Structure 1
Amino acid sequence: MPALSPTMEEGSIVKWLKKEGEAVAAGDALCEIETDKAVVTMESNEDGIMAKILMEEGSRNVPLGTLIALMVDEGQDWKQVEIPPVEAATPPAAAAAPVAPPVAPSTVPLPKPAMSGPLRLSPAARHILDSHGIDPKLATPTGPRGLITKEDALNLLKTHPVPKATPAMAALSSAPTPAATPPSPGSRPNIPPLSVPGKPGAPGTFTEIPASNVRRVIAQRLTQSKTTIPHAYASVDCDMAAVMHLRKDLAKEQIKVSVNDFIIKAAAVTLKEMPEVNVTWSGDEPRALDSVHISIAVATDKGLITPIIKDAADKGVQEISANAKALAQKARDGKLLPEEYQGGSFSISNLGMFGISGFSAVINPPQACILAVGTSRSELRLREDDQTLYTQQLMTVTLSSDGRLVDDELASRFLDKFRSNLEKPQRMALA
């Protein structure tokens, strides 16, 4: 399993593009691998024959360095390829496992543990074995990479007697066994009952949902952002009348651009005019960036991802629009290259198309800011000169800023400059 992104620690095999026995040339696509960011095609570095696929399609959370396939040179008998033992790929344990503390006395002798080394248990299996006081080393794992599954735990309860319960355990096991739980010796706590595969779920049951690599990384980065970055928020209303009129004029020239394209352009121009906001936090100090690369939040089936429009301040709105559409489609297809989603300096998240009037977004570290964009709305206003009513098209944007880099005064000046640029789009639209 190769490292296909700087932050990748494990990957999942999505699809094999070569079959066993098939000839492979240098540069041929071997398989599609889901990294922590996207689905990336792995290419061969040399000629040969695909001899053996060791990790089938659908294999998830494969650690870096794990053997996933074997190739042989052309002319060799690929059917006679020697498969290295699994133990050879696993580094020896640095020290013996610590001795487990003594368990409650039992009148029934337990067999010798069936496995050694680090244990890997599913949450359901851990709960079942802990509830009955059974050593998980007695279970025979059938899950991927030595995982003890719920079925393994239930099979252990069926084949081996349960140790005699202490008074505390007896009180705990007095709760009735849920109807949806497979029958097993003894009983288990009813908090909550487990669902049975292939059967309708009973009230209160739950189903474990495997997290994708992308979803796990999103969870880690959001937690890191909210716990390590001092978020500050500031909002401003922008008059969108000029942008709406300019869009209509451009449409007559067969130039189709969105409101979001103008927002990206306005943010990029403002960052170029205020380079003190175009910074990131690196280690224990700020780092000023030389280029303005705007990250745009795109919703996919696997979660949000932020492809980058590079050098956005130097591009016209029409070019920004074309870039944004192409990157968004690649993001939804899971085909983004690492350089297309890494290295942004400022993020924009727009929920206006969902009717959201305003919201606060979470900063994408190590960036200093993210701009949350709401929908445009019509409001009646009173003219001061003649006291007549008129309709104004307003849009609320909220800047989330890293207080270590962008203080309240700087954030306010940035929003004021951004509003001025957006409300006068003619001077920047096609620059």
Structure 2
Amino acid sequence: MPALSPTMEEGNIVKWLKKEGDTVNVGDALCEIETDKAVVTMESSDEGILAKILVEEGSKNVRLGSLIGLLVEEGQDWKQVEIPADVGVPSSVASPTPAPTPAAPSVSAPPKLQHQPGKLQVRLSPAARNILETHGLDPSNVTPTGPRGIFTKEDALKLLQEKQKGKPSELKPVVSPAPAAVPSPSQATAVTSYSRPAIPPISTPGQPAAVGTFTEIPASNIRRVIAKRLTESKTTIPHAYAAADCAIDAVLKLRKELAKDDIKVSVNDFIIKATAVTLKQMPDVNVTWDGEACRRLQSIDISIAVATDRGLITPIIKDAAAKGIKEIAASAKALAKKARDGKLLPEEYQGGSFSISNLGMFGISGFTAVINPPQACILAVGRARPELRVVEDEEGNEKLEQHQLMTVTLSSDGRVVDDELASKFLETLKANIENPMRLALN
């Protein structure tokens, strides 16, 4: 299992594109691997014959460096290939785990160790500990399946199912409380029994769900990374918000004129271009935070949020300020398609200096977005809506005119973009959007 992204720790085998016995050349696509970012095609760096597939399609959480397949040179008997004993093999194909031996006492035991006199110490995940304590289960008779010998939630649920099926050998004896004193007849009428609230039963796959149960949906690698990064962003970045209403009548008029010449561009393409031009005019906003210092970036690379079946991903339009509207439209369309197909290359979604998230097509008028670290800002774009405004004509008379307004909300990292700078950025962006001819000058 190769590292296909800088933050990848494990991957899922989505599909094998070669089968055992197939000839493989350098550069041939071997399989599709879901990383923590996207689904990436793994290409062969050698030639030969694919002799053995050790990890089947659909396998989850395969650690980096684990053996997933064997390639032999042409002419060798690929059917008689032997699995090397000194190479890391995933747990699904490795030999059974040997029985654990008593652990030596340590000076400071980890907080997740469960220790009972005369029994082995077991490393418990928080979810597993809760299930074991709730149902009075003993994990010492079960071999943990988690990484580094951790007793996981799945191990605890399996143990609970065995208990419900009546396998007492796996259960931890529950000590009954000492019998209470028998109340006198006069006291008996005043004693009321209150039972502890029942824990919702565990749902069983293939059986109708009882009232109060739930179905656990396994999280993909991409979904887990999204959850981790969003939590990191909201807990470590001081978000500040500022909003402005932009009139897009001129953009709509120009877009209509371009359509007559068969040049198809969207309002979002104008927003990307206007944002890039504004960042060029105000380079202090085109920055990232590395934990200790602010870094002003030379290239203006706009990350555009794209919703996919596997979660949100942000492909990047590189050097957007130097591109024209038509070129930006073509790049955005191609990147969005590759993102939804899970075919983005790492260099197409890693990095970026500024993000844009547009929910206008879903009818959202305005919202605040979460900053994508280490970037300092993200622009949330709402839908266009008609509104009446009071304007003055050439003679100074006031009259009502209908305009198409769009709300843009800037989420900024208060450590590097203060309120004044954010306000000036929105003011400049508003002027660029409302006067799209300015974009042709940059």
Partner residue, 1:265: 273
Q: Which shows bigger deviation, 73-82 or 371-380?
A: 73-82
Instruction: Find the residue that maps to 1:413 and give its secondary structure.
Output: helix
Q: Is the 8 A contact 1:262 1:429 kept in 2?
A: no
Partner residue, 2:398: 387
Q: What is the alpha-carbon distance in structure 1 between the residues aligned to residue 88 and residue 3 of structure 2? A: 20
Partner residue, 1:165: 174
| 1:159 alignment partner AA | K
| 1:131 alignment partner AA | T
Residues 360 and 88 of structure 1: CA distance in aligned 2, closer, same or farther (over 3 Å): closer
- Say which of 157, 161, 180 aligns to 1:154: 161
Q: What is the alpha-carbon distance in structure 1 between the residues aligned to residue 266 and residue 179 of structure 2? A: 66
Q: What is the alpha-carbon distance in structure 2 between the residues aligned to residue 352 and residue 3 of structure 1? A: 36
Instruction: Find the residue that maps to 2:383 and give its secondary structure.
Output: strand
- Say which of 309, 321, 325 aligns to 1:313: 321
Query: Any stretches of 5+ residues in structure 2 without a counterpart?
Result: 91-97, 106-112, 181-193
Partner residue, 1:397: 408
Partner residue, 2:420: 409
Query: Any stretches of 5+ residues in structure 1 without a counterpart?
Result: 106-111, 177-188
The structural deviation recorded for 1:7 is 1.0
**Per-residue deviation, residues 6-42 of structure 1 (Å, max 9, x unmatched):** 1111110000111112221111111100011111011
The structural deviation recorded for 1:51 is 1.5
Q: What is the alpha-carbon distance in structure 1 between the residues aligned to residue 70 and residue 175 of structure 2? A: 53
Q: What is the count of residue pairs matched by the alignment?
A: 405
Q: What is the alpha-carbon distance in structure 2 between the residues aligned to residue 17 and residue 209 of structure 1? A: 27
Instruction: Find the residue that maps to 1:11 and give its secondary structure.
Output: strand
Q: Is the 8 A contact 2:137 2:160 kept in 1?
A: no
Q: What is the alpha-carbon distance in structure 2 between the residues aligned to residue 382 and residue 100 of structure 1? A: 71
Partner residue, 1:243: 251
Partner residue, 1:18: 18
Instruction: Find the residue that maps to 1:313 and give its secondary structure.
Output: helix
Q: Is the 8 A contact 1:267 1:418 kept in 2?
A: yes
The structural deviation recorded for 1:318 is 0.8
Instruction: Find the residue that maps to 2:137 and give its secondary structure.
Output: coil
1:275-290 maps to which residues of 2 (within 5 A)? 275-290=283-298
Instruction: Find the residue that maps to 1:420 and give its secondary structure.
Output: helix
The structural deviation recorded for 1:164 is 3.7
Q: Is the 8 A contact 2:290 2:374 kept in 1?
A: yes
Cα RMSD of the aligned pairs, angstroms, is 3.1
Instruction: Find the residue that maps to 2:424 and give its secondary structure.
Output: helix
Q: Is the 8 A contact 2:378 2:411 kept in 1?
A: yes
Instruction: Find the residue that maps to 1:416 and give its secondary structure.
Output: helix
**Per-residue deviation, residues 84-141 of structure 1 (Å, max 9, x unmatched):** 3599659x99x946685326x9xxxxxx98xx9x768795x66554334333231257
Residues 133 and 251 of structure 1: CA distance in aligned 2, closer, same or farther (over 3 Å): same
Q: Which shows bigger deviation, 160-169 or 212-221?
A: 160-169
Please give the TM-score of this superposition, normalised by the length of structure 2. Answer: 0.84
Residues 321 and 154 of structure 1: CA distance in aligned 2, closer, same or farther (over 3 Å): same
Q: Is the 8 A contact 1:122 1:148 kept in 2?
A: no
**Per-residue deviation, residues 280-301 of structure 1 (Å, max 9, x unmatched):** 1123001111110000000001
Q: What is the alpha-carbon distance in structure 2 between the residues aligned to residue 31 and residue 315 of structure 1? A: 35
Q: What is the alpha-carbon distance in structure 2 between the residues aligned to residue 407 and residue 399 of structure 1? A: 12
Identity of aligned residues (%): 67
The structural deviation recorded for 1:418 is 0.5
- Say which of 349, 352, 356 aligns to 1:344: 352
Instruction: Find the residue that maps to 1:388 and give its secondary structure.
Output: strand
Instruction: Find the residue that maps to 2:398 and give its secondary structure.
Output: coil
1:91-240 maps to which residues of 2 (within 5 A)? 96=103, 101-102=115-116, 123=127, 128-139=131-142, 148=155, 150-155=157-162, 158-161=166-169, 162-167=171-176, 190-240=198-248
Q: Would you say 1:44 and 2:52 are equivalent positions?
A: no
Instruction: Find the residue that maps to 1:194 and give its secondary structure.
Output: coil
Partner residue, 1:362: 370
| 1:228 alignment partner AA | T
Partner residue, 1:181: none
Q: Which shows bigger deviation, 233-242 or 196-205?
A: 196-205
Q: What is the alpha-carbon distance in structure 1 between the residues aligned to residue 200 and residue 440 of structure 2? A: 57
Please give the TM-score of this superposition, normalised by the length of structure 1. Answer: 0.86
